[in-house]
A and B are shown apart, each in its own frame.
Chain A
């Protein structure tokens, strides 16, 4: 079945630096890749997503890249701020109604002021 691996499990950066989180997936039929941010004790919230017909998508300080050939996708956060500190989850979906969405194990990001 589908498997999503996410690295690193923990990431610590200085405020203002960039943070990169990488995920790989195994099912070549996956065509939708959302990213979620979960603050402590809160629900995961969608922050950006990308579909397989696009190689890169950007929303202010957040960008996601997708390499379908290599089956990996990455989240890039530039100019990090303390409020970016959270757990980030990547996910891959084969696109049928979302129920075949497989989540990565999460990356705990610490942004030091």
Chain B
């Protein structure tokens, strides 16, 4: 069966520090991968999605970036965090063929001080 791992679960960072969140998927090949941000009590904001290695599409301009160095690895990064980057970050995967659900990781709660 397929599983998705996301870490760390919680992160507290100072303003201006760098960020790296990692997500890996097991049990499937060539998944579509996604990064979402969820502000407290709000909906899901799609940040990036990827349909293959090295292929990244950005949905919202910001100081974040994403990379997919391997088929089942998706990384969210920032060189300098802003206060507004605080939130709950969710990685998700879906199959690449046809209409398929997205399956979410456990999320990373990021607090910027």
Which A residues contact B (CB, under 8 angstroms)? 31-32, 34, 41-46, 49, 51, 89, 93-99, 101, 103-106
What is the CA–CA distance of A16 and B1 in the complex, to the nearest angstrom?
35
For B109, what are the chain A residues with a Cβ–Cβ distance below 8 Å?
41
B contact set with A: CB distance below 8 Å:
32, 34, 42-44, 49, 51, 57, 90, 94-107, 109
Q: With A and B bound together, what is the CA distance between A94 and B97 in angstroms?
A: 12
- With known contacts A98-B32, A103-B44, A43–B99 Cβ distance under 8 A: no
Which 5 residue pairs across A and B have the least CB separation, nearest first? A32-B99, A98-B94, A95-B99, A43-B104, A105-B43
Q: List 11 A-B contacts (CB under 8 A).
A: A31-B99, A43-B104, A43-B105, A51-B99, A89-B44, A96-B99, A97-B94, A97-B97, A98-B32, A106-B42, A106-B43
Residue among A42, A89, A98, A104 making CB contact with B100, cutoff 8 Å: A98
- B-side binding surface: helix, strand, loop or mixed? loop
Which B residues touch A31, using CB under 8 A?
Answer: 99
- B94 with A89: CB separation less than 8 A: no
Which residue of B has the minimal Cβ distance to A48?
Answer: B101
